[in-house]
Chain A
């Protein structure tokens, strides 16, 4: 038993060193805003700005909607491709990987061009612009969301489960709700976490659609400053980690039930 744990511990320790050193270095620098001593001055300056909380909440809200729409769109699609249209998989995967090669600046200007004139005028009210923003976020998160769900589907014998469900008389709706979604909990969670991180840190879309998101706010605050950007990175890291922790903890119950694991 103990020998089995040695290697995993070793890999994790190595990983921990690699991941924490840069964070330690950033934190150290962020504490040096006051000459000669370590102080929280940079953090104080950042928190003084009243928009810190409101912009973070805005981005959080956008993230939740993106996750919701994303999961509702991707899970049935990935399932369907997996089940019925496996020969179309390369094409679908190419589509889901396109967001990597389309620069976000081109995407946002393209969105503005198309949706800034009637009949699809979406840029003049906050609510419709937010919809546009969520659409944009979903495009950026698409590769990650799709891949998470895809891997999740492979881990479960979805075909047999579908056959079994159908032979018991289930319709497609029931299959989706009671067979597919529940078995994709971990995968969907992964996708959700990735999407959350992406949306909270996203800059360009919110910037050019003129919405008060966290990314542009951080960018503004850190402009031409030395210590505040470092403090911001650490704070946004911590906040996002906390948000993820909450989501993870909420859906925790399902982890053990998938596949048996160990």
Chain B
């Protein structure tokens, strides 16, 4: 009994050697992902490289170099990065307000549960809600017009990149709040008190203690927000379908539409998205490792 403990304790240390059979612990997860994600999605990868009659071809991938497709990737990445950053920043502030802001306890429950619902409020209902608010006939547009300002004459337009980002934030903010709340809970009061005892100001506490500790989680959440926006389809289609080129809309046009039907190109587009996603994970891991140096 005791012998087993000593050996295990040795291996529980960070950076300690792991045994091959530790990989077995991942078996359920890997099995699930293979059976329900990788295998079904294999049509994607296979289809991207399959031409008529099943022969191997690179024509679909070559098709990705068309100007409007590259524009699509650029737009998708841009809206995802922008909403991940803004969503992350303001979402963090809201999460902070709700956890450490010393507000009455019912506020936390209300905000968290609301965030839960709002995090998935997307697609046509969300687009319609924003059209009803800030569209040409929206209630805010009307209200502001009564005050003498015509938003649309001033150059504002909901059906642009900016409008789409604004709409995306509706589910980005709540996602950030939900993910970061437990992390903020993990900030021990003792650390705050200790830093105050040592004479640190609030800013210094945040800059040298809290943020470094939270950075890995913040980065992880932002990657989630990035992916969330990157893969969004229904909201973008309802709001800017036909105008703004986004990769998900283009995939839809190839696979689901009533006009075009080139699944090979659609799959190639999706494979492109996978590559971008992998790249962003790589970037994120790099940042992660640097941020983790502050811990332990």
Interface residues of A (CB under 8 A from B): 1, 4-5, 7-9, 11-12, 15, 18-19, 21-26, 28-29, 73-74, 76-77, 80-81, 83-86, 88-90, 92-95, 97-103, 105-111, 113-114, 135-136, 138-139, 142-144, 147-148, 150-152, 154-156, 159, 162-163, 166-167, 169, 186-187, 190, 193-194, 196-198, 200-201, 229-230, 232-233, 237, 240-241, 244-245, 248-249, 252, 255, 258-262
Binary interface encoding of chain B residues 1-38 relative to chain A, with 1 for a CB under 8 A from any of its CBs, else 0:
10001001101111000100011011011001101110
- With both beta carbons as reference points, the residue of chain A lying nearest to B11 in the complex is identified as A84
A9 engages B101 (CB within 8 Å): yes
A99 partner residues in chain B, CB cutoff 8 A: 37, 231
B113 engages A245 (CB within 8 Å): yes
- In the assembly, what is the distance between CA of A144 and CA of B179, in Å? 8
- With both beta carbons as reference points, the residue of chain A lying nearest to B125 in the complex is identified as A233
Tell me what chain B mostly uses at the interface: helix, strand, loop, or mixed: helix
Q: Please pick, from A18, A106, A110, A155, the residue contacting B217 in the complex, using a CB distance under 8 A.
A: A155
- Smallest CB separation, A239 vs chain B (Å): 9
- Smallest CB separation, A179 vs chain B (Å): 12
Q: A102-B44, A138-B32 are in contact. Are A237 and B281 (CB under 8 A)?
A: no
B181 engages A190 (CB within 8 Å): yes
- In the assembly, what is the distance between CA of A155 and CA of B255, in Å? 42
Interface of chain B residues 218 through 234 with chain A (CB within 8 A): 220-221, 223-224, 227-228, 230-231, 233
Most B Cβ at <10 Å: residue of A111, A190, A255? A190
Chain B count of residues within 8 A CB distance of the other chain: 107
B28 partner residues in chain A, CB cutoff 8 A: 73, 76-77
Q: A9-B101, A77-B28 are in contact. Are A237 and B39 (CB under 8 A)?
A: no
- In the assembly, what is the distance between CA of A140 and CA of B1, in Å? 43
- In the assembly, what is the distance between CA of A105 and CA of B109, in Å? 35
- With both beta carbons as reference points, the residue of chain A lying nearest to B286 in the complex is identified as A90
A151 partner residues in chain B, CB cutoff 8 A: 179-180, 182-183, 217, 220-221
Q: A11-B94, A147-B221 are in contact. Are A197 and B116 (CB under 8 A)?
A: yes
Interface of chain B residues 119 through 147 with chain A (CB within 8 A): 119-126, 128-130, 132-133, 138-140
Most A Cβ at <10 Å: residue of B25, B111, B255? B25
B277 engages A148 (CB within 8 Å): no
B270 engages A258 (CB within 8 Å): no
Q: Please pick, from A26, A143, A152, A166, the residue contacting B227 in the complex, using a CB distance under 8 A.
A: A143
